[in-house]
Amino acid sequence: MIYSQNDKILIWLDMFNFLTYHKKKALLSSFNSPLDFYTNFSKNYMLLEKIITQTQFAEMCKCQNEKLINQYLLGLESKGIQIVSCYSNLFPQEYKEQADYPFVLYCKGDVSLLNKVCVGIVGTRKVSRYGIEQTERFARELSTNDIVIVSGMAEGVDTFAHKSTLKSGGKTIAVLGSGFDNIYPTTNIELSKEIVKNGLLITEYPPDIKPLAYNFPVRNRIIAGISKAVIITEAGIKSGALYTKNYCLDYNIEVFCVPGNVDRQSSEGCNIAIKNGECGMALSPNDVLEYLNISKNINVEIKKNVQISIEEQLILDIIGQDEVHFDEIQEKSMLSTQQLNFLLTTMELSGIIKKLAGNFFCK
């Protein structure tokens, strides 16, 4: 991948973990342009002393070396990572109209998906069977109409959105709250590999950044920012999905909520948002397609994998007609954690089994 001078300046800033998003923004805004900033940086500590310490300034001056930047990029390339900066024509241009767009996106997979029609699907981590059904229905029908499904690869709704999309032969983008060396949750490591093959993983965090709690609400702005609309299929009143809703409202991006049982806490956030007029109500994927002015594709065949290996049949026999925990499956199958995670993910993507809250599985 060819990087411009502006790209490299933003990438250089991202090499310093002590620089927060707001500090980077303040540094850049102190000069007329990224080039002006980079060229005159080492001469202007007095201008920057309220943003960074003298020790930090000295470290940045020491690393102000294009050869070092190029080595950093080669290291990322060896891991299959590309960087799309806000100056790249691959960066979603509409997103740059917002005040808090990310300066760079670390990417694994098909970066062209950033400029396709994207729709976010988010919701609770503790998803009910109803939430699973609605998430799968919306992801399946939208993705088979050439819409890229965006979510955060968290447990629950996010995971089902990605998996249903892949099962349908569609494309999906997962926005992470950590660097690529620290995929979270670890139970979705195999899923992340499938997404790289058939979609795109993105994050604004360098590879070594861990999944810190405060990263996740912030990353939700990216889900909103690259989407034409966002659907919340199931969410309680404290669900992190409501952060995404708030970003959408700030960005003037349409939010749809799927109504749920009025007695179910996991649907309370959706029902209240609908009641308060904060979002549209989506009774079916057609509501979203109509909003996007996309004609429904009725001649779509969903890909299915009907081949069952000996190990997969063993897992099916263990599950039977019950909801069985991962630990019980592992104990009875005597498979390694890595092998079992891989098999369960493959079986989910093939529609053979479903993953429930609490690491339980059923047919």
Reduce the DSSP state of residue 147 to 3 states and report it.
coil
Say what the pLDDT of residue 301 is.
46
Say what the pLDDT of residue 41 is.
94
Say what the pLDDT of residue 351 is.
78
Q: What is the mean pLDDT of residues 136-145?
A: 95
| Structure confidence at residue 302 as a pLDDT band (50, 70, 90) | very low
Q: Is 4 left (phi over 0), alpha (psi -120 to 50) or beta?
A: beta
Instruction: Output the average pLDDT for the chain.
Output: 92
| Structure confidence at residue 353 as a pLDDT band (50, 70, 90) | confident
CA neighbours within 13 Å on the CB side: how many for 304? 7
Backbone angles phi, psi at 337, to 5 degrees: -60, -45
Say what the pLDDT of residue 273 is.
95
Say what the pLDDT of residue 323 is.
86
Distances (CA, A) of 362 to 192, 303, 315, 326, 353: 22, 21, 10, 11, 6
Among the residue ranges 136-150, 166-180, 300-314, the one predicted with the least confidence is 300-314
* Pure H helices in the chain: 5-13, 21-29, 34-40, 45-48, 54-62, 66-78, 129-143, 157-167, 189-198, 215-225, 241-251, 268-275, 285-292, 310-319, 326-333, 337-349
Among the residue ranges 59-73, 229-243, 292-306, 323-337, the one predicted with the least confidence is 292-306
pTM: 0.82
Give residue-wise pLDDT tens across range 167-187: 999 999 999 999 999 999 999
Say what the pLDDT of residue 296 is.
77
Among the residue ranges 68-77, 129-138, 291-300, 349-358, the one predicted with the least confidence is 291-300
Say what the pLDDT of residue 304 is.
47
Give residue-wise pLDDT tens across range 58-93: 999 999 999 999 999 999 999 999 999 999 999 999
Give residue-wise pLDDT tens across range 8-28: 999 999 999 999 999 999 999
Percent of the chain topping pLDDT 90: 83
List, as one string, the DSSP characters of 73-132.
Answer: HHHHHHTT-EEEETTSTTS-GGGGGSTT--SEEEEEE-GGGGGS-EEEEEE-SS--HHHH
Give residue-wise pLDDT tens across range 249-265: 999 999 999 999 998 89
Would you mind telling me the total number of residues written for the chain in this entry?
Answer: 363
Say what the pLDDT of residue 306 is.
53
Say what the pLDDT of residue 308 is.
81
CA angle 247, 289, 118 (to 5 degrees): 45
Say what the pLDDT of residue 171 is.
97
| Structure confidence at residue 299 as a pLDDT band (50, 70, 90) | low
Backbone angles phi, psi at 82, to 5 degrees: -110, 155
Nearest to 300 by CA among 127, 167, 123: 167
Nearest to 47 by CA among 61, 33, 75, 28: 28
Q: What is the mean pLDDT of residues 234-238?
A: 93
Q: Residue 305 pLDDT > 80, yes or no?
A: no
Q: Residue 311 pLDDT > 70, yes or no?
A: yes
N- to C-terminal Cα separation, the chain: 43
What is the sign of the dihedral through the CA atoms of 336, 182, 214 and 177?
negative
